[in-house]
Amino acid sequence: MATDAEYYYQFLNGDNSGLEELVKMFNNNLILFINRYVNNLSTAEDLAADTFAELIVKKSPYIEKYSFKTWLFRIARNNAIDYIRKNRRHMNVSLPDYDTAEEDALERSVVKSEQQTELHASLKKLKKDYSDVLYLIYFDQMSYEEAGLILKKNNKQIKNLVFRAKQSLKETMIKEGFNYEEL
Amino acid sequence: MRSYKEQTEKILELVEKKKKAREKKNNILVTCSALAACAIIALFCTSLFSGKNQSASLPVDTKIFTPKTATTSDKSDNKTKPTKKRVNYEKPKTTTIPMTTESIKTTTTKNTPKIVFISTNSDKSLPSNDLSKTDSNVIIYNGKSYVNTCSLEESETSKANLLGEYLGTVSEESDDESTDDASSDDSSSDMNGKVYTINGYSESFRLGMVTRDTTTGNDYIHIFDDLDSLAYSVQSSGSELLNDILHIDKNLSFINYYSGTNLSEASTNQNDILTKIPETTIPQFIECLNTAFLINDGESAFENEDKKVALFFNMTDETTAQIYLTKDGYIFCDGLYFKTDSDIFYEVYNSLVEE
């Protein structure tokens, strides 16, 4: 099976199926990740498309050193933050304008086991910094280094953040009667 | 929700749009560059025929143009702007002045502000009774002196986030005279690099120098602050320093602390403040630092107190601000002393201070 970088280069060489494979691999996770910032699924979907497009046009030279996924999520975060900055006033007064069933379906595509469902529910109750980093590590299977790259934190900062996030998660899960130790 | 196929089509559509936008932008840039190059050549020729000094006749902001021509080591700039070779600016001249207690490296050009690098054994960023214990480096730029307050390993992230406009280079000296004096062993001998503005901070307060560790090949960004300028910028309260200049309110990521008598150990012996202080207390504590008032006579309070608490405010942009606390509500940061009578200060100080 080809890797994400191989699909990326396949697309750059003119084969559109490479892009479709990348979309299949990352689109749902990316939309959920962006939605954590913008809180609007339709906007998150548009920003996800924009993120793919940006990475394709800019042809990041870092794909081989890190991974396509890391740079995709990093650009996605930048795009989401840019979007929030530009639409701050509007976002303060708007409410999510989509059916939550859509979001649930999207989450089900990412959250596979019952254990992950419990984890996902608990993550939603944490501080944003904490849930962001744990989401990347638990659901997007990223290393600390990759998560640090996306969240723009150095090794020391990301280790501290993960440590505190896990402590907070443990407290939340124990409070709700979930089993943290199995994670 | 779009299907994968629809999303792929949407992406392809966006790619086309972005490509067109980039082409348009590039065309505009090429046109502008060509026009600018023609204008410079025309002016140069005019000045040659009129017999005047070319640099005096250029009606352009030299601050914009000179940094990129200031240093021959900046190869990428020379490559992309070949027309500048015709202008024949003076090459940077690097000199080293060996001194008994400090060494000075300078990079000067005819058209750039002078950048001087000094290694000295004093450090205004630490409380006064610890001055003799640490070595410090100073950059002098535009007549202002900037002291090295923190250093971080360069990553693509930090490079993209922190480094702004390139200002000039402090080049490595090539003479072979510096072999016998003590300063040749000083770590400052490795401090050769490019000087930049730092994004998000005023150029009059903060600069950055990028250096390379020749043994490991790692690049470092050293942050230099003009602490003297703070005496004019900060007039009354802590927030003028912490929020207006250091941007702690916007950029704070997490806080580490050191407690003890030897501040030279502080950088390697830190702990997360949340191991001692509840997270809910932190905002109140920061508010107490913001409302602390500036005092002129805080130095003696630090000199007379052995036990100190150093706080390391780690920012999201990877820089670190250091703040020192001592009993009776005294706060020291970047050469300035503040005082607070807030209960929360004592609560935090007493929890952190080592018995």
- A3-12, A39-48, B176-185 — which is least confidently predicted? B176-185
Contact B173, B105 (CB under 8 A): yes
Nearest CA in chain B to A54: B15
Question: Looking at the structure, do residues A27 and A73 belong to the same domain, yes or no?
Answer: yes
Distance CA B137, CA B122 (A): 9
pLDDT grade, residue B215 (50/70/90)? Answer: low
Cβ-based interface (< 8 Å): residues of A facing B: 16, 19-20, 23-24, 27, 41, 45, 48-50, 52-54, 56-57, 62, 102, 105-106, 149, 152-154, 156-157, 160-161, 163-164
> Does residue A182 sit within a domain?
no
Inter-chain touch A19–B11, beta carbons under 8 Å: yes
Which CATH number goes with the domain that contains A37?
A: 1.10.1740.10
With 0-12 / 13-18 / 19 or more C-beta atoms within 10 angstroms meaning exposed / middle / buried, residue A128 is exposed
Q: Does the beta carbon of B91 lie under 8 angstroms from any beta carbon of chain A? A: no
How many whole angstroms separate alpha carbon B86 and alpha carbon B77? Answer: 14
Instruction: Tell me the shortest Cα–Cα distance from B218 to chain A, in angstroms.
Output: 15
Whether A135 and A66 map to the same domain: the answer is no
DSSP codes, B319-343: -EEEEEEEGGGEEEETTEEEE---H
Residue B46 at interface with chain A, using a CB cutoff of 8 Å: no
Greater confidence, A180 or A124? Answer: A124
Domain boundary, last residue among A67, A96, A125: A96
Query: CB–CB of A23 and B152 under 8 A?
Result: no
Query: Do A116 and A88 fall within a single domain?
Result: no
Average pLDDT over residues B140-155: 79
Question: Is A167 found in the same domain as A134?
Answer: yes
- The answer, yes or no, to whether residue B104 has pLDDT greater than 70, is no
Same domain? A85 vs A118: no
Q: Could you give the ipTM of this predicted complex?
A: 0.70
| Cβ within 8 Å, pair B1-A41 | yes
Domain-located, residue A102: no
Tell me, yes or no, whether A104 lies in a domain: no
Domain assignment present for residue A26? The answer is: yes
Over residues A63-95, the pLDDT tens digits come to 566 677 888 888 888 888 878 777 755 544 444
Instruction: Evaluate whether residue A101 is within a structural domain.
Output: no
The total domain count for chain A is 2
pLDDT value at residue B236:
83
Same domain, A21 and A62: yes
User: What pLDDT digit, counting tens, does each position of B62-97 carry?
Assistant: 333 333 333 333 333 333 333 333 333 333 333 333
Mean pLDDT score of chain A, rounded to an integer? Answer: 78
Among all residues of chain B, which has the CA nearest to that of A51?
Answer: B11
CB contact under 8 A, A53 and B22: no
- Contact list in A for residue B158 (CB cut-off 8 A) is 154
- 3-state SS string over B87-117? HCCCCCEEEEECCCCCEEEEEECCCCCCEEE
Residue A92 and residue A26 share a domain: yes
Question: Does A74 lie in the same domain as A6?
Answer: yes
Domain end among A96, A119, A150: A96
The pLDDT of residue B132 is 36
Of the listed ranges A15-19, A169-173, B99-103, B221-225, the one predicted with least confidence: B99-103
Calpha distance A134→A125 (Å, rounded): 12
The more confident residue out of B127 and B143 is: B143
Q: Which of A141-145, B155-159, B332-336 has the lowest mean pLDDT?
A: B155-159
Check: CB of residue B94 under 8 Å from CB of residue B106: yes
Query: Does B318 score more than 50 pLDDT?
Result: yes
- For the ranges A157-171, B189-203, B228-242, the lowest mean pLDDT is seen at B189-203
Cβ contacts of A15 on chain B, cutoff 8 Å: none
Specify the 3-state DSSP secondary structure of A173. Answer: helix
- Rounded Cα distance between B308 and B259, Å, is 6
Whether A106 maps to a domain, the answer reads: no
Region B117-127 average pLDDT: 53
- CA neighbor of B332 nearest in space, from B281, B300, B298: B298
What distance in Å separates residue A87's CA from the closest CA in chain B?
A: 18
Average pLDDT rounded to a whole number, residues A22-39 = 87
Residue B230 has pLDDT above 60, yes or no: yes
Q: What is the arrangement of strands in the sheet containing B103-108, beginning at the earlier edge strand? A: B93-97, B103-108, B115-120, B136-141, B144-153, B219-225, B206-212, B193-198, B163-170
Give a yes or no: residue A80 inside a domain: yes
pLDDT classification of A48: cutoffs 50, 70, 90: very high
State whether residue B57 sits within 8 Å of chain A by CB. Answer: no
- Which tens digit of pLDDT belongs to each residue from A135-146? 888 888 888 888
Q: Which residues of B touch A154 (CB under 8 A)?
A: 152-153, 155, 157-158, 318
What's the mean pLDDT in B14-26? 78
Instruction: Tell me if A105 is assigned to some domain.
Output: no
Window 307-326 of B: residues touching A by CB (8 A cutoff) are 314, 316-318
Q: How confident is the model at residue B337 (pLDDT cuts 50, 70, 90)?
A: confident
Q: Is A172 helix (H, G, I), strand (E, B) or coil?
A: helix
The CATH number of the domain where A135 resides is what? 1.10.10.10
| Predicted pLDDT at A135 | 86
Question: Are A133 and A61 within one domain?
Answer: no
On chain A, the residues whose CB falls within 8 A of the CB of B12 are: 16, 19
* Among A74-78, A104-108, B37-41, B117-121, the least confident range: B117-121
Whole-angstrom Cα Rg for chain B: 25
Among residues A71, A96, A121, the one where a domain terminates is A96
State the nearest Cα–Cα gap between B282 and chain A, in angstroms. Answer: 14
Per-residue confidence at A49, pLDDT binned at 50, 70, 90?
A: very high
Residue span of the structural domain in which A165 resides: 111-177
Q: Clarify whether residues A1 and A71 are in a common domain.
A: yes
Reported as a single tens digit per residue, the pLDDT across B257-306 is 988 877 777 777 788 888 888 888 899 999 999 999 888 777 777 777 77
pLDDT at B21 over 90: no
Q: Check residue B101 and give its pLDDT.
A: 35
Do A145 and A92 share a domain, yes or no? no
Tell me, yes or no, whether A85 and A144 share the same domain. no
A95-109, B127-141, B170-184 — which is least confidently predicted? B170-184
Closest residue in B to A101 (Cα–Cα): B1
Beta bridge partners, A98, equal none
